[in-house]
Amino acid sequence: MRTIFIILFLFNSRLVISQGQSSMVNIKGGVFLPLYSLDSQKTEVKPFLMDVYPVTNADYKKFILQNSSWRKSKIKPIYADTNYLHQWNSDTSFAVNLALSPVVNISWFAAKKYCECQGKRLPTVAEWELAGRASETKPDATKDLKFNQWILNWVSKTSPKVLPNVGSTFKNYYGVWDLHGLVWEWTFDFNSALTTGESRGNSGLDNTFFCGGGSFASKDINNYASFMRFASRSSVKAKYGVPNLGFRCVKSKL
């Protein structure tokens, strides 16, 4: 029975990868209004490309094999805390059922470096939010009560110890999977949506960056999920490894 399970798992892995796990889709540009901001602070976002899936453990292993300084045993403490890749068994191995799960316990610094090595980058808050407000059928579902309730239900639950594979939630209007319902995701910047005492006092250092995924339409008091995410990510620093925080990459359109 175990042999059959492994064969089926490997078949599924090859299937997902063959469907373009590292492929990107076009995200339409638009306007993003940061949390608690005035209309004068609207940000115009140009069209960009976004990864279809979050980065998986299998993806990150390829990066590790080519960039040994980012292994668990070698990474510098200023770039990651002791939770870095906590779910991995060693520098280059993890349980077979984690291969297609999103890589988590990953620092902002490591996520940023991974994207750069792919010729990509982390999305800005504005870019992530524009993509994240799309439901399966609408490019902007911020007023869709059913969609908002679904997200609220997810953020209210405890994350499972073993995360599901990427591609297990839903594909949105643009063709992006798992922006909601699987993991939170790092973004490049924080100050366009976050203001904290620490960030104001030490804004010149990379280690003051925070994650910023998932707070679209938070000016609507009815969207409690947005405020929950806002409160949670405000306490996360760039070196932290968090069990339900992963990432994906984007690329500017030429």
| Regions in the chain scoring below 50 on pLDDT | 3-20, 191-218, 221
Element spanning 16, H or E = helix 2-18
The alpha carbon dihedral of 33, 248, 170, 150 has a sign of negative
Q: Does the domain spanning 2-252 belong to CATH 3.20.20?
A: no
Nearest Cα neighbor of 206 from 161, 239, 173 is 239
* Domains in the chain: boundaries: 2-252
Half-sphere exposure of 163 (CA within 13 A, CB side): 28
Residue 11: the pLDDT is 45
Residue 171: the pLDDT is 97
Q: Is 217 left (phi over 0), alpha (psi -120 to 50) or beta?
A: left
Residue 15: the pLDDT is 46
The 8-class DSSP code of residue 52 comes to S
Nearest Cα neighbor of 237 from 183, 199, 204, 200 is 199
Sheet containing 24-27: which strands, arranged edge to edge? 24-27, 48-51, 250-252
Given a contact cutoff of 8 angstroms between Cβ atoms, the answer to whether 96 and 6 are in contact is yes
Residue 243: the pLDDT is 94
